[in-house]
Chain A
Amino acid sequence: MSLEFRGPGVVPLTLYVNGHETHLQVEPRQTLLSVLREELGLTEAKHGCGMGTCGACTVILDGQTVYGCLTLAIDCDGSEVRTLEGLARGQELHPVQQAFIEHDAYQCGFCTPGQILSAVALLEANPRPTAEEVRQEMSGNLCRCGAYPNILSAVLAAGEREE
């Protein structure tokens, strides 16, 4: 294994954000979340705790959900990042987004971007999950408004629809 040293000072970074090749100069200490929110203005990803305990910052990195607040941006060089911004096509919502509306699966909506991305990643890996699997897989996304039962039914319904 070889160690690679980058920085101090800004270093170049290439990300494929929602399908767009994006070239950036970032500080090595910056998290993926801060690059998305502060450098790219993609505020769909939320900052709720900054330490991997709430899931509000969830994004999909090369097909896997990650906490944006715990991921160093420079570790994502060359990676594909999906945020909520890339999900709907204009007015046409993704089935998970549609199901969230139909099932009232949000109250304040602050946890919603993270919940939706977790659900999307879950359904892409496992299109027909059981209720228990959904609860397990999404237990890293807190919802203080307590929309959990509605989120569960939305995800299950979206799974059925996507078939």
Chain B
Amino acid sequence: MITKTAEHTVIGTRPPRADAFEKVVGKAVFGPDVNLPRMAYGRILRSPHAHARIVRIDPTRAEALDGVYAVATAADLPEAADRTERVGEGNVNYKYMRDNTFAGDKVLYHGHPIAAVAARTLQIAEQALELIDVEYELLDPVLDVRQAMAADAPLLHEGMHTRSLAGTADTPSNVASQFQFLQGDPEQGFAQADVVVERAFETAMVHQGYIEPHAATAAWDADGTLTVYTTTQGAFDIRSQVHELLGYPLSKIIVVPTEVGGAFGGKNVGYVEVPAAVLARKSGRPVRVVMTREEVFLASGPSSGTWMRVKMGATREGRITAAEVELCYEAGAYPGSPVGAGANCILAGYDIPNARLDGYDVVVNKPRVGAYRAPGATQSTFAGEAVIDELAEKLGLDPVEFRLRNIATNGMPRLNGGFHEHIAAREVMEAVRDHPHYNAPLERGTGILRRGRGVGLAYWGNWGARSSVTLEVNADGTVSMLMGSVDITGTRTSIAMQAAETLGLSLAHINPAMGNTQTSGYSDASGGSRTTMATGVAAVKAAEEVIAKMHERAAAIWVCEPEQVAYTNIGPDAGTFTCSRNDETMTFAEVAAKLGGTGGALRGQGDVNVRRWGGAFGANIADVEVDIETGSVRLLRFTAVQNVGKAIRPGQVEGQLRGGATQGIGWGLYEGYAYDGQGHMLNANFLDYKLPTALDVPAIETEILEIPWPEHPFGVRGVGETPIVGPPAAIANAVYDAIGVRQGFLPMTPARILESMGII
């Protein structure tokens, strides 16, 4: 019914974001800004030990302190189901989630929550934490993923047995699960190779580093309705978690998402919502719990530290013959690392006839990992792209040329069992080959400053899933838009743009808003780079329903058949209805003005579950300067190329490319959790866990390719995650190019670089 040609009038433009004004005047309400009458302040008591049995918890002295309203522990939560469900971008077992909300019989990491206090002031709450008596029996911690896999390692969960396709192992282990991908005959493939490269890699645990800490405010109505205001990527996911952990009906829980001050995957799982809800119930007051920065580092959901091994072979002609990959990912205290996604993304851009990949999900005494922007892919890509680079070098081939000789194309089987469709990996690599940056001469440098250039090819699979958009037509011809997806990156604008384009109205006609779990249709979390894509599908569907219903209203006004009414959503007459019976025209607004007399409210509803979506390839080019005396690395120039399908609002797409690159630069050069031998985190602050600053990041050139995903009305693919995947790999390859030594660690701190050179 609605045909929209390529001549878009809204899509592809750069209007101000719908939330622009409230963001620059500082009026946007973020999680910690929520403030309710009579509100109490909640704080959480955390384990000072990495691994210990809890002998006793006695809150009596805390409860007696003047100004303390309530103390909560695991005893306040019902037993939770031993069931695993998808939450945002990862899986969560509710029994483990309960233990990670308030520790049961054991604490499993430094910062593990034990109890929570609500008090009249924050200071009283903090004082009360010190009055909760906890007796521990210390156990040996296990912090390193390979150490944890050893047969004699201390066990985190005595009852945990490794699961695999072969079944469940007899002896308990810290390896929660393992899997294998097999393609062709790897032994034969290596026998055909003229050159073989094998290397091991390690990466440190890293944090999303959102500047807004986790914050939730819970309040119970007299009728038993619980409202939770929280900073989250998925209001409905948080509602499910609260429902499971409190054993309370979904219909009586309302989750209201606030503005989100950065999430990057880390705000799918709730940490403070359930404690706030329990404290609010016990105290009879609204309770706000806001994490400190230290708590965010210690006890939210960072990304896995890893140990990886990659072996690859190629012929003299530059064809890859075989690969063998081992991925060992830290899950933290409970199973659920992103090793599966790491396995799906490593070497995804190449045609590899023979390959074997073994993946291990391993528990260690660190916080339970969460999703972090392309979960698991950045680590594995760092390893895969380093070996690809080294193969090219051994074969005397330009690294981009070698990649192009082996690039994956449509229909090729993938290591994980699937097939690539509309992948456009070649176009991305060719864009690198032809990019002015790649062809610019690089002054090599002599003396202590050495320069190098590196590239990395990156892939992320993206996501579809459930989204809901409601468009309500108002009497003045404007449209109120409500979306169930949380806007974490400006998506209320990119969704409204797709609605406007479909409706043939200007963007100014649409006022978009985020709903909550009471007002919106079910929507999955804003993660997996799915929102502009899948919620866009919902918006287009809602807009089409609006137009179809408006046809009926126009027909009622004209007293004709709806089939005699046509609507134009394109060109100079966009936004007008015409009647073939009487040749009259009416604008969208004129029909809207008569809604009352033609049947009442008019609403278009788009509820979708998008089951097919397109992955996104991207690539990076990095120029670095390495000071071989200090080991410090400076970025001279950086380029991000990505196929985005269709850039709905290019400014936002560029922002995602730059933002992902900036975080990737952090992973590459600065960021990593540090622990002492007892499992105490040593750098739970922004001084010692260094994020890139304005001084560390060069301009970051972006090149956007638009090779559409054909099943989206406008061709959109997910954008936000692929940008972080390639930068550490590109930087590591550039460092090699500069100093001639391969890098096996992330982050590549000055000390690591000097160590790799044999200087320290």
Residues of A within 8 A of B (CB): 29, 41, 43-51, 53-54, 56, 83-85, 87-88, 93, 97-98, 100-102, 104, 106-113, 116, 134-136, 138-152
Contact = CB atoms under 8 A, between A and B. Distances in A.
B293 A146 contact: no
B658 A108 contact: no
Contacts of A41: 35
Given A53-B687, A150-B655, A108 B261 contact: yes
B685 A109 contact: no
Contacts of B123: 29
Interface stretch (B18-26, B469-477, B740-748): B18-26
B26 A85 contact: yes
A146 B489 contact: no
Nearest to B652: A104
Given A109-B259, A135-B694, A147 B658 contact: yes
B663 interface: yes
B260 interface: yes
Contact of B694 (A29, A46, A93, A148): A148
A29 B122 CA distance: 12
Contact of A144 (B32, B292, B663): B663
Contact of B260 (A108, A142, A147, A148): A108
Nearest to A110: B261
B261 A109 contact: yes
B699 interface: yes
A48 B699 contact: no
Contacts of B662: 146, 148
A46 B213 CA distance: 10
B659 interface: yes
Interface string B123-145: 10000000000000000000000
B358 interface: no
Contacts, number: 161
A112 B23 contact: yes
For B23, B652, B699, the residue with the greatest tally of chain A CB atoms inside 10 Å of its CB is B23
Interface stretch (B204-212, B405-413, B442-450): B204-212
Interface in B627-666: 651-652, 654-655, 658-663
A96 B26 CA distance: 13
Interface of B: 14, 16-17, 19-21, 23-30, 32-33, 35, 123, 208-213, 259-264, 290, 292-293, 488-490, 651-652, 654-655, 658-663, 685-687, 691-695, 697, 699-700
Contacts of A110: 30, 210-212, 259, 261-262
For B27, B29, B489, the residue with the greatest tally of chain A CB atoms inside 10 Å of its CB is B27
B651 to A, nearest CB: 4
Nearest to B19: A109
B663 A146 contact: yes
A144 B694 contact: no
Contacts of A151: 694
Contacts of A136: 695
A11 to B, nearest CB: 16
A84 B32 contact: no
22 contacts: A41-B35, A43-B29, A46-B32, A47-B213, A53-B687, A54-B686, A56-B211, A97-B24, A101-B16, A104-B652, A107-B262, A108-B259, A108-B489, A112-B23, A112-B26, A136-B695, A144-B209, A146-B658, A146-B661, A146-B692, A147-B655, A150-B655
Ranked 5 nearest A-B pairs via Cβ: A110-B261, A146-B662, A44-B26, A146-B659, A109-B23
Contacts of B694: 134-135, 138-139, 141, 143, 148, 151-152
Contact of B490 (A51, A56, A107, A144): A107
Nearest to A154: B24
B695 A84 contact: no
For A93, A97, A101, A144, the residue with the greatest tally of chain B CB atoms inside 10 Å of its CB is A144
Contacts of A102: 16
Given A47-B32, A146-B697, A111 B20 contact: no
Given A108-B211, A108-B489, 5 more contacts: A87-B25, A108-B210, A109-B261, A110-B261, A144-B691
Contact of A93 (B24, B27, B658, B697): B24
A106 B26 contact: no
B655 A43 contact: no
B655 A113 contact: no
For B35, B488, B659, the residue with the greatest tally of chain A CB atoms inside 10 Å of its CB is B659
Contacts of B660: 146
Contacts of B663: 144, 146
Nearest to B656: A107
A97 B490 contact: no
A144 B661 contact: no
B542 to A, nearest CB: 26
Nearest to A87: B25
A147 B687 contact: no
A145 B24 contact: no
Nearest to A146: B662
Given A107-B490, A107-B655, A46 B211 contact: yes
Contacts of A152: 694
Nearest to B649: A104
Contacts of B24: 88, 93, 97-98, 100-101, 106, 109, 112, 116
For B210, B260, B693, the residue with the greatest tally of chain A CB atoms inside 10 Å of its CB is B693
Nearest to A44: B26
B699 A145 contact: no
Contact of B293 (A46, A49, A83): A49
A147 B659 contact: yes
B293 A145 contact: no
A94 to B, nearest CB: 9
Contacts of B489: 107-108, 145
Contacts of A140: 693
A29 B123 CA distance: 10
A98 B757 CA distance: 49
A25 to B, nearest CB: 14
Given A54-B211, A142-B211, A84 B25 contact: yes
A84 B23 CA distance: 11
Contact of A145 (B16, B262, B685): B262
Given A88-B25, A136-B695, A147-B658, A51 B211 contact: no
B464 to A, nearest CB: 23
A50 B293 contact: yes
Contacts of A143: 211, 694
Given A50-B292, A84-B26, A85-B26, A139 B695 contact: yes
B210 A144 contact: yes
A43 B659 CA distance: 25
Contacts of A29: 123
B287 to A, nearest CB: 15
Contacts of B35: 41, 43
Contacts of B26: 43-45, 83-85, 112-113, 116
A48 B699 CA distance: 25
A141 B323 CA distance: 44
Nearest to A93: B24
Contact of B691 (A107, A142, A147): A142
B659 A44 contact: no
A104 B123 CA distance: 39
A51 B23 contact: no
Contacts of A83: 26
Contacts of B210: 108, 110, 144
Given A41-B35, A50-B293, A88-B25, A104 B211 contact: no
Contacts of B687: 51, 53
A85 to B, nearest CB: 7
B23 A106 contact: yes
Nearest to B660: A146
A111 B211 contact: yes
Contacts of B661: 146
Given A48-B293, A101-B24, A112-B26, A145 B652 contact: no
Contacts of B14: 104
A49 B685 contact: yes
